C-alpha cells in the first residue's frame, strides 16, 4: 500500500494489515547459493559477512521504501509495522530479515543508471537460505502458517534439484572502459578541494570516480560474487537486484555498524597502500603509511568522528589499538570501535548517526557533502552508502557499499574514491583510486 508521511512519499508493500507475518524453517542439505539467486524477474539478495554468516533471498514478502531527509525514521516506523506480530518457527539464525540499503545522498531519486534503487529500500524475502556455523536452513515467509508451510515444502523440493556446488567460471571479458573523470579533470577537482581546505572550509573530503566497463558478454553476477569470496574471504559480500533495473554488488572491507542487543561494533578504515610482491615489500608499504602524517591525519579524523557520533548513545565506548588490515591487493589502517548502548536502540538509529563517516564523506560533513555534489560528475546512488539488514528486534548489520559495481545488461559501472586532506597529491590519489577499482575489475576480465 502507498501512503504519504509528512508530505514525502514512502511505501510499504506487505501482507494484509489484519494478518501477522508468518515464517517456517527447516534444515537443508548444502546448496549452491549462486544457483538460488540466478537472474530472473524476481527480487534477489545475497549477504555474507567475514565471520561466516551467509544469506540469500528471493521474492518479496514485504517491501519498505522511503525518500527524503526523514528516510531513516520512515523506514524504522514502517519496519515496526511490517514485523508486528511475526510468528517465526525455526532457529533464530534463520529468522526473517529485511535486506536493502540507502543512497549516499538523501535527495537521491530512482532513475537512470540507478533505476529501481530508491533513496531507501528494504525487502523481507519470501524465501531465504541461511548458512552459518550451525548449519544450513531454508525459511519461507507467508501471510499465514499454511502459506508459509506450502512455500517451504515447494522450495525444499526445488532446491533438492540444484547442485550443491556451482562453478564460478571466469569473467565475461572486458571490451572497453570509459571514465567519468579523466585524469586532467581529477587533478582540477583535487586542487579545487585543496583550495577549500587551505581556506579553512574543509578538513577532509572524499572524492570518487566511476568507471563504465563494457563487457564481451553477459555478466553472471552470483558467479562474480563467488569469485570475490575466494579472493577476498575476509570482506563482506553483497548482491541486490529487483529484476527491474541493475544489480548492485560488491565486496566491501568496511563494517559500518553491527548491533546485537545493546552491543555495538564498528570500525574506522581509512588510509591505504598497495600489497607488495613479498612480505618484506608489504612491510615497506605499511611503514610508509605509518610514517606519513597525511595517512595518520586521515585515519584519525575517521576515528574521532565515529567516537563523537556514538558517544551520546553509549554507556561505554572502547577504541581499540590501530592495526593493519591486509586484503589481496591493498592494505588499510584499521581501528576497531565497540560500544554498549545506554538505552534500547534500533540499528537504523546507529546507521543514521554514522552515515556518512569521514571515510566516505568528509569533515565537516555538511561542507564535504556539498563539495561532493558540486564536484562529482556522476550519481553515487547506493555507492559508499549503508548496505545490510535488520530484524524484528531492531538488531542488524551494515557494511559500507565500497569495492562495488552496478551491473546492467553487458555493462558494469564501478565506483571508487579517496580522501583528500591538506597535503594530498593529485597523482598519488589517482593511483590509489585505481587500486580500489581492481577488486571488481579483475573479476570481470
From the list 74, 126, 226, 254, the catalytic residue is 254
Per-residue H/E/C for the chain: CEEEECCEEEEEECCCCCCCCEEEEEECCCCCHHHHCCCCCCCEEEEECCCCCEEEEECCCEEEEECCCCHHHHHHHHHHHHHCCCEEECCHHHCCCEEEEECCCCCCCCCHHHCCCCCEEEEECCEEEEEECCEEEEEEEECCHHHHHHHHHHHHHHHHCCCCCCCCCCCCCEEEEEECCCHHHHHHHHHHHHHHHHCCCCCEEEEEEEEEEEECCCCCHHHHHHHHHHHCCCCCEEEEECCCCCEEEECCCCEEEEEECCEEEEEEEEEEEECCCCHHHHHHHHHHHHHCHHHHHHHHHHHHHHHHHHHHHEEEEEECCCEEEECCCEEEEEEEEEEEECCCCCHHHHHHHHCCCCCCCEECHHHHHHHHHHHCCCCCCCCCCEEEEECCCCCEEEEECCCEEEEECCEEEEEEEEEECCCCCHHHHHHHHHHHHHHHHHHHC
Q: Which of 208, 229, 219, 179 is nearest to 381 (CA)?
A: 208
Q: Residue 254 catalytic?
A: yes
Given the residues 204, 226, 267, 397, the one annotated as active site: 204
- Please give the Cα distance from 399 to 271 (Å, whole number): 18
Active site members:
204, 254
Amino acid at each position: 500500500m502507498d501512503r504519504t508521511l509528512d508530505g514525502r512519499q514512502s511505501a510499504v508493500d506487505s501482507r494484509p494489515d489484519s494478518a501477522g507475518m508468518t515464517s517456517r524453517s527447516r534444515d537443508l542439505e548444502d546448496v549452491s547459493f549462486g544457483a538460488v539467486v540466478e537472474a530472473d524477474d524476481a527480487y534477489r539478495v545475497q549477504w555474507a559477512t567475514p565471520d561466516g554468516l551467509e544469506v540469500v533471498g528471493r521474492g518479496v514478502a514485504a517491501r519498505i521504501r522511503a525518500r527524503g531527509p526523514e528516510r531513516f525514521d520512515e523506514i524504522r516506523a514502517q519496519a515496526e509495522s511490517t514485523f508486528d506480530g511475526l510468528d517465526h518457527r525455526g532457529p533464530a539464525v534463520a529468522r526473517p530479515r529485511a535486506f536493502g540499503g540507502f543512497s549516499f545522498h538523501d535527495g537521491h531519486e530512482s532513475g537512470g543508471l540507478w533505476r529501481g534503487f530508491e533513496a531507501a529500500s528494504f525487502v523481507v524475502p519470501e524465501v531465504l537460505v541461511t548458512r552459518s556455523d550451525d548449519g544450513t536452513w531454508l525459511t519461507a515467509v507467508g501471510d499465514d502458517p499454511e502459506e508459509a508451510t506450502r512455500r517451504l515444502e515447494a522450495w525444499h523440493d526445488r532446491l533438492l534439484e540444484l547442485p550443491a556446488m556451482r562453478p564460478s567460471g571466469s569473467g565475461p571479458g572486458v571490451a572497453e572502459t570509459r571514465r567519468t573523470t579523466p585524469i586532467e579533470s581529477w587533478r582540477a577537482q583535487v586542487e579545487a578541494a585543496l583550495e577549500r581546505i587551505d581556506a579553512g572550509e574543509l578538513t577532509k573530503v572524499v572524492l570518487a570516480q566511476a568507471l563504465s566497463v563494457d563487457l564481451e558478454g553477459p555478466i553472471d553476477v552470483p558467479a562474480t560474487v563467488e569469485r570475490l569470496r575466494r579472493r577476498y574471504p575476509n570482506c563482506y559480500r553483497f548482491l541486490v537486484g529487483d529484476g527491474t533495473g541493475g544489480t548492485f554488488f560488491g565486496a566491501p572491507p568496511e563494517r559500518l555498524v553491527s548491533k546485537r542487543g545493546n552491543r555495538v561494533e564498528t570500525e574506522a578504515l581509512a588510509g591505504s597502500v598497495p600489497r607488495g610482491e613479498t612480505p618484506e615489500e608489504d612491510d615497506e608499504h605499511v611503514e610508509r603509511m605509518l610514517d606519513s602524517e597525511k595517512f595518520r591525519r586521515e585515519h584519525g579524523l575517521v576515528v574521532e568522528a565515529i567516537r563523537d557520533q556514538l558517544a551520546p548513545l553509549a554507556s561505554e565506548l572502547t577504541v581499540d589499538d590501530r592495526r593493519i588490515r591486509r586484503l589481496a591487493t591493498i592494505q588499510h589502517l584499521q581501528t576497531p570501535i565497540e560500544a554498549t548502548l545506554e538505552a534500547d536502540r534500533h540499528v537504523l538509529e546507529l546507521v543514521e548517526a554514522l552515515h556518512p563517516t569521514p571515510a566516505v564523506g568528509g569533515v565537516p560533513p555538511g561542507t564535504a557533502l556539498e563539495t561532493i555534489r558540486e564536484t562529482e560528475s556522476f550519481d553515487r546512488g547506493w555507492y559508499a552508502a549503508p548496505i545490510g539488514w535488520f530484524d524484528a528486534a531492531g538488531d542488524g548489520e551494515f557494511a559500507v557499499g565500497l569495492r562495488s559495481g552496478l551491473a546492467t545488461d553487458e555493462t558494469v559501472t564501478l565506483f571508487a574514491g579517496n580522501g583528500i586532506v591538506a597535503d594530498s597529491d593529485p597523482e598519488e590519489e589517482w593511483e590509489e583510486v585505481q587500486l580500489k577499482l581492481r577488486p571488481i575489475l579483475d573479476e570481470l576480465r
